[in-house]
Amino acid sequence: MKIAMWSGPRNLSTAMMYAFAARGDCAVWDEPFYAAYLRQTVIDHPMRDQIIAAHESDPAKVAATCIGEIPQAQSLFYQKHMTLHMIPQFDRQFMRDLTNVFLIRHPARVVASYAKKREGPTLMDIGFVQQAELFDQVADWMGEAPLVIDSADLRADPYAALNNLCDALGILFIKNMLHWPAGPKPYDGVWGPHWYGAVHRSTGFEDPEGPLPDLPSGYQSIVDQALPYYKKLAAFKM
């Protein structure tokens, strides 16, 4: 099985990738289209040149690998995708050959976390608009809503959330998914040192989060714009 997990940044997406990697039967791929996205756009991201140099930047080649033979002779292939990377120039037909799942997080938490790593985010930087578009496209292909999982449920009860996800995917839940070793991982993208500090210090999903963060008015306006897209997908969460 090839699982494509679609989220925006700062959605617990790296922790989820670590959980699947910890299974022992699953190859993982960290943000396959990141280099291609940067190469096709003028956006200035941290470590832009290093990312393009270190990773495949031809979107057709990336897509072919996504649906090709599963690496390392494993039975599962987990792909951590960022919704904002799937720009209109990229052919999405490869997604038809994947099991597409959508990972969501309240936009106030996303913006608060993102702004600590890259100042001045825009609505398009955090991926909610793109996530809703991809969700609709996959739902149209399938004739039903694809799976949606909320990061708040992961934090509240990782065992139950992962068990439910595995059951919905038709795969065995493995308790190893609840823990991973601290530190960088060999499958991290080259951008890991900039973005993954907190998850590198972790050995599992953190405790439930408290109240939503207070944000400056400029950031709050982004949250207000993103909220309808989040709520749209949240209506379908497991």
Q: Domain boundaries in the chain? A: 2-234
Whole-number pLDDT of residue 216: 75
| Burial per residue of 108-143, b for 16 or more beta-carbon CB atoms within 10 angstroms, e otherwise | bbbbbbbbeeeeebebebbbbbbbbebbebbeeeee
> Which residues partner with 204 through β-bridges?
179
Our CA angle for 163, 206, 75, nearest 5°, is: 40
Residue 68 CB contacts under 8 Å (≥ 6 apart), including other chains: none
pLDDT band, residue 63 (cuts 50/70/90):
very high
- Coil vs helix vs strand at 103: strand
- What are the DSSP E strand ranges found in the chain? 2-7, 26-30, 76-82, 99-104, 147-150
| Mean pLDDT within 9-25 | 95
Whole-number pLDDT of residue 195: 83
pLDDT tens, residue by residue, 83-130: 999 999 999 999 999 999 999 999 999 988 777 767 777 888 889 999
Instruction: Please say if the pLDDT value at position 214 is more than 90.
Output: no
Whole-number pLDDT of residue 82: 96
Lowest mean pLDDT among 105-114, 179-188, 222-231: 105-114
Q: How far is CA 100 from CA 3, 60, 66, 84, 115, in A?
A: 6, 19, 12, 15, 28
Whole-number pLDDT of residue 10: 82
Whole-number pLDDT of residue 115: 75
Q: CATH classification of 2-234, choosing from 3.10.20.10, 3.40.50.150, 3.30.43.10, 3.40.50.300?
A: 3.40.50.300
| Mean pLDDT within 51-61 | 97
CA 98 to CA 78: how far, in whole Å? Answer: 10
| Mean pLDDT within 166-175 | 98
Residue 171 CB contacts under 8 Å (≥ 6 apart), including other chains: 1, 76
CA 83 to CA 78: how far, in whole Å? Answer: 15
pTM: 0.95
Whole-number pLDDT of residue 235: 98
Whose tokens are 């200035």? That residue is 44
Report strand pairing: 147-150 vs 2-7: unpaired
- Cβ atoms of residues 8 and 110 within 8 Å: yes
Lowest mean pLDDT among 17-31, 161-175, 199-213, 222-236: 199-213
